[in-house]
Amino acid sequence: MEVRVFATLRPIVGGPSVQLNAGPGDSVRALLDELIATWPAMKRELFDAQGQLHNNIHVFIDGRDVRYLDGLDMPIPADAQIRIFPPVGGGTFAKPPKASKSGPQVHDYYGVPDWLMVEYLQDLGARETSPFVLEADDWRAVVRKAAPKGIGSLKVGGSTVTFTGDPTALDAMFEHLHVKTLRGGG
């Protein structure tokens, strides 16, 4: 069965679609399990630590999100079109922020929920010392939900992060975090 993937999932599987053995009559969960067995990096993209599908991952069968059908345990219908969409941010590739010589740096990351920001910062070497407080050797980050931002009639949430630490270490970290937070690219 062909499964189409989008945005940040494409580099993991090597293209816009994959062929899987799971198909009509199998559950959506079985299909996702096969996807993860073939590309283990997909597990972190699709599921949280408790094994639940991330809230902002959308698995569509024939254009309808499985959450509004029968969930992951529903059988895949014959001739189904399956599409998987990760969270997508975007915009232009602006330069990452630069740390000032002293004082905290506060940055908003719209389209990046607080739980995902924690994962990004852990990927960059920080450890969570208490909920939403992360520390690396030369910097510290406190993550909280950002106030929703209005874009026309759309409201977009995200994270607000307060960074402190060595400006040189922060600048190096910002270079990597900036790429992670774009989330819409390849």
Fold matches, 2-85 and 105-182: no
Tell me the three state secondary structure of residue 35: helix
Q: What is the mean pLDDT of residues 23-37?
A: 95
Q: What is the DSSP letter of 69?
A: T
Mean pLDDT, residues 5-13 taken together: 87
Please tell me the predicted confidence (pLDDT) of residue 143.
Answer: 96
* Separation CA 47–CA 161 (nearest Å): 23
**CATH architecture type of domain 2-85:** Roll (3.10)
What confidence score (pLDDT) does residue 54 get? 86
In one letter, which amino acid is 186? G
Mean pLDDT computed over every residue of the chain: 85
Q: How far apart are CA 120 and CA 137, in angstroms?
A: 16
CATH number of 105-182: 3.30.1370.80
Contact call for residues 75 and 25 (beta carbons, < 8 A): yes
Q: pLDDT of 108-142, one tens digit each? A: 888 788 888 998 899 899 999 999 999 999 999 99
pLDDT computed for residue 129 by the predictor: 95
Name the phi and psi angles at 125, rounded to 5: 105, 0
**What confidence score (pLDDT) does residue 96 get?**
56
What are the backbone angles phi and psi of residue 3, rounded to the nearest 5°? -125, 125
Q: Which residue is it, tokens 């929703």?
A: 148
> Would you list the domain boundaries of the chain?
2-85, 105-182
pLDDT for 74 equals 94
What pLDDT is recorded for position 101?
A: 60
Kindly indicate the confidence band of residue 184, based on its pLDDT and cuts at 50, 70 and 90.
very low
pLDDT in tens, 85-109: 887 654 444 455 666 566 788 988 8
Phi/psi class of residue 184: alpha, beta or left (left: φ > 0; alpha: ψ in -120 to 50)?
A: alpha
Three-state SS at 176:
helix
Cβ proximity of 22 and 31 under 8 Å: yes
pLDDT digits (tens, 9 = 90+) for 44-86: 889 988 888 888 888 999 888 898 888 999 999 999 999 998 8
β-sheet with 158-165: strand ranges across: 105-110, 158-165, 139-145, 133-135, 127-130
